[in-house]
Chain A
């Protein structure tokens, strides 16, 4: 069965600094997607970034980028130039035949 693990329940970062959130997963599938979702206090789930497993190039979206290590089944999220609005819960998710979420990382941005 597929699993998604986020080992950091809480993280904090100084405003304008860089932070990396960790995620590992386990799967036997070869065709899948990986996602990072953000859930602010409003609780609306927002897609931050997406990576297709067959693509070797790491996805980037403005200040957000991933380090996708397929062999190691690792998918970390790097947030550069952190802003106060980045404070939220971040969920790593696996999308294959099924969809699985990690337990989440609560990110605090310190002014």
Chain B
């Protein structure tokens, strides 16, 4: 099956710094990638949808200046958390989809802890 990787799997940073999370589709071209945030024992909350070569579409309530998303190629999307604060600590999951209206393939997630 299709494989999506995320790097890093776990990151700890100081408050005020920026953190970049990479999401890669390893064996397929992803025209659309999604970024989710998940709090403990809760469902996935969609943050934004990105299509290769175009600006990301952010969900209501998600600050686009704080969560910068770049989808520069068909296999790579990045999420940068700028000026991170402790309340940004969470589990971030990316997923990728081909052009078909079909399943999403999920990365293993990144645990972000902001001190």
Q: How far is the CA of A68 from the CA of B111 in the complex (A)?
A: 35
Interface size class of A (residues with CB under 8 A): 20 to 34
Given contacts A43-B91, A102-B43, contact A33 B102 (CB under 8 A): yes
> Do residues A101 and B43 form an inter-chain contact, with CB atoms below 8 A?
yes
> Do residues B106 and A45 form an inter-chain contact, with CB atoms below 8 A?
yes
The smallest beta-carbon distance between A75 and chain B, in angstroms, is 14
Q: How far is the CA of A35 from the CA of B102 in the complex (A)?
A: 9
Q: Is B42 on the interface with A (CB-CB < 8 A)? A: yes
> Closest chain A residue to B46 by CB distance?
A99
> Do residues A99 and B104 form an inter-chain contact, with CB atoms below 8 A?
yes
- CB within 8 A of A95: which of B41, B44, B101, B108? B101
Q: How far is the CA of A106 from the CA of B42 in the complex (A)?
A: 10
Q: How far is the CA of A89 from the CA of B41 in the complex (A)?
A: 9
> Do residues A44 and B109 form an inter-chain contact, with CB atoms below 8 A?
yes
> Do residues A31 and B103 form an inter-chain contact, with CB atoms below 8 A?
no
The smallest beta-carbon distance between A97 and chain B, in angstroms, is 8
Q: Is B67 on the interface with A (CB-CB < 8 A)? A: no
Q: Is B84 on the interface with A (CB-CB < 8 A)? A: no
The smallest beta-carbon distance between B44 and chain A, in angstroms, is 5
Which chain A residues (28-64) contact chain B, with CB distance < 8 Å?
Answer: 31-33, 35, 37, 42-45, 47, 50
B residues bordering A, Cβ < 8 Å?
A: 34, 38, 41-44, 46, 91, 93, 95, 101-104, 106, 108-109
